[in-house]
């Protein structure tokens, strides 16, 4: 019975990081272009909110299906199929917008819904892979490096979209399609070592021999209980585990109020910068997050995990308020850098905490639930920002959102005491029934 290494081969790390980089670059380049295009077509902050809502809605509607699929089938194949679906959507968008005159936003919104459906399957499957590639003690190491790839994408993707937008609206969308297709190829180069643990029809875990692994991956049908009961297990587990529920609830409500990124096209117009300036303003998020992720890669958060998480969310809220108030492009750039650096710490903690607090056989379903929270905190938060922006203006929406984020950090610190008291990352449970009410081994406090 083989075991997972603490450090996978460099080629496997490169494949994972490459798949993360290309799929997220594709996503961000496309999002940057469509946000700018929709705002130029309508001049409405509310339409920017609807654009985010269209991307989020499929993740919410498909959460039960996507999580079960990620647990029952080869996660590499699920990721690759999601990436190829996104490539097709990007090519269709490129064809539609090739002549900007007379465009309607309705087909754009419909295609973004299709893109969101692809992301609903891609995201939990791809995010489950690091915990399957390495032993538990190697997860923070691999997650930190995967975060570097993701944050690099947040720098390059928006800049690429802004630069190519000046050549033609359709050009960055073709680039996004090529990047998504490249991600599909890279993820299939990943090899997941060791025998997975799967559940029998009766429910308990049973080990699978090495000679059965390839058969399981080919058939994609490990012996698990199917149907709605299985799909709902991810929701039940999250609800029963206060640490995981607190971490993802904090992310949901903090960025629900602090979703200023959606209004960046309107902020760029207020600051009198064009497509290139807008691209760099959005890339400031990647620069801040990337710089912080490099720090985390070499000096990861190991102690006072819960308090650090709450603290960086409060810092995120502070810089969001600065972004809403400023009329200076330089200060807006610094604010985006600062709030994204704080968010990078939050993402690292949550991306490490949630898989380690979840039994291996349930990670797909739990991460699919978390994906809805993440989607809600970004796309649904963007809709909230757009709707409030339509009523109070861009400045009022962003400032109010920053204040709301500060309140959320304080409230979650009071409501989720187990999360606040977490000192070190927890030891993973060996099955869904391990611990009281599904809790992992109690982390050090």
Residue 104 in tokens = 């309607």
The reported pLDDT for the residue numbered 204 is: 35
How far is the C-alpha of 102 from the C-alpha of 114, rounded, in Å?
22
pLDDT tens digits, one per residue of 203-254: 333 333 333 333 333 333 333 444 456 557 777 887 777 788 888 788 777 7
Nearest Cα to Cα of residue 418 among 236, 245, 238: 245
How far is the C-alpha of 148 from the C-alpha of 127, rounded, in Å?
14
Under a CB-based contact definition with an 8 Å cutoff, are residues 356 and 139 in contact?
yes
The reported pLDDT for the residue numbered 386 is: 75
The reported pLDDT for the residue numbered 344 is: 85
Buried b (16+ CB within 10 A) or exposed e, 153-173: bbbbbbbbbbbbbeeebbbbb
pLDDT tens digits, one per residue of 119-134: 888 988 888 888 778 7
Q: pTM for the whole thing?
A: 0.64
Q: Is the pLDDT of residue 34 over 70?
A: yes
pLDDT band at 374 (very low <50, low <70, confident <90, very high): low
pLDDT tens digits, one per residue of 315-330: 999 999 999 899 899 9
Q: What would the mean pLDDT of 407-427 be, rounded to a whole number?
A: 83
Q: What would the mean pLDDT of 47-66 be, rounded to a whole number?
A: 80
pLDDT tens digits, one per residue of 10-31: 888 899 999 999 999 999 899 8
Helix (H/G/I), strand (E/B), else coil: 270: helix
The reported pLDDT for the residue numbered 247 is: 82
pLDDT tens digits, one per residue of 284-342: 887 888 788 788 877 878 788 888 999 999 999 999 999 989 989 999 999 999 998 99
Residues whose CB falls within 8 Å of the CB of residue 91, separated by 6 or more in sequence, listed in order? 173, 174, 177
Helix (H/G/I), strand (E/B), else coil: 189: coil
How far is the C-alpha of 173 from the C-alpha of 90, rounded, in Å?
5
């Amino acid at each position: 019975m083989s075991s997972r290494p603490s450090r996978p081969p460099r080629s496997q790390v490169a494949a994972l990081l490459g798949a993360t980089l290309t799929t997220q670059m594709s996503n961000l380049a496309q999002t940057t272009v469509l946000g700018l295009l929709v705002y130029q077509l309508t001049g409405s902050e509310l339409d920017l909110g609807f654009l985010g809502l269209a991307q989020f809605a499929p993740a919410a509607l498909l959460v039960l299906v996507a999580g079960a699929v990620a647990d029952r089938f080869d996660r590499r194949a699920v990721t690759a199929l999601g990436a190829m679906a996104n490539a097709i959507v990007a090519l269709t968008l490129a064809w539609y917008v090739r002549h900007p005159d007379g465009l309607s936003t309705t087909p754009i919104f419909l295609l973004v819904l299709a893109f969101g459906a692809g992301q609903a399957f891609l995201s939990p499957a791809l995010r489950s892979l690091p915990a399957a590639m390495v032993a538990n003690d190697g997860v923070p190491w691999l997650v930190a490096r995967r975060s570097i790839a993701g944050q690099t994408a947040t720098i390059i993707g928006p800049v690429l979209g802004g630069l190519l937008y000046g050549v033609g609206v359709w050009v960055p969308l073709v680039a996004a399609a090529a990047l998504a297709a490249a991600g599909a190829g890279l993820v299939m180069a990943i090899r997941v070592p060791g025998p997975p643990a799967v559940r029998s029809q009766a429910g308990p875990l049973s080990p699978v021999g090495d000679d059965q692994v390839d058969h399981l991956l080919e058939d994609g049908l490990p012996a698990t209980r199917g149907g709605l009961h299985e799909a709902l297990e991810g929701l039940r587990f999250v609800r029963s585990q206060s640490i995981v529920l607190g971490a993802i609830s904090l992310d949901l409500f903090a960025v629900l109020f602090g979703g200023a990124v959606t209004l960046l096209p309107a902020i760029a117009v207020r600051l009198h910068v064009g497509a290139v300036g807008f691209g760099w303003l959005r890339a400031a998020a990647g620069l801040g997050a990337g710089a912080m992720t490099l720090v985390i890669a070499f000096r990861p958060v190991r102690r006072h995990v819960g308090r650090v998480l709450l603290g960086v969310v409060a810092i995120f809220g502070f810089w969001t308020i600065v972004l809403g108030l400023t009329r200076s492009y330089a200060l807006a750039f610094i604010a985006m850098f600062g709030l994204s650096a704080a968010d990078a710490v939050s993402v690292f903690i949550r991306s490490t905490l949630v898989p380690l607090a979840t039994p291996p056989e349930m990670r797909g379903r739990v991460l699919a639930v978390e994906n809805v929270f993440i989607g809600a905190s970004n796309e649904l938060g963007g809709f909230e920002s757009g709707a409030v922006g339509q009523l109070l203006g861009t400045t009022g929406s962003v400032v109010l959102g920053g204040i709301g984020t500060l309140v959320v950090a304080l409230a979650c610190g009071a409501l989720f005491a187990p999360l606040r008291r977490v000192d070190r990352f927890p030891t993973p449970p060996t099955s869904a029934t391990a611990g009281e009410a599904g809790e992992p081994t109690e982390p050090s406090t």
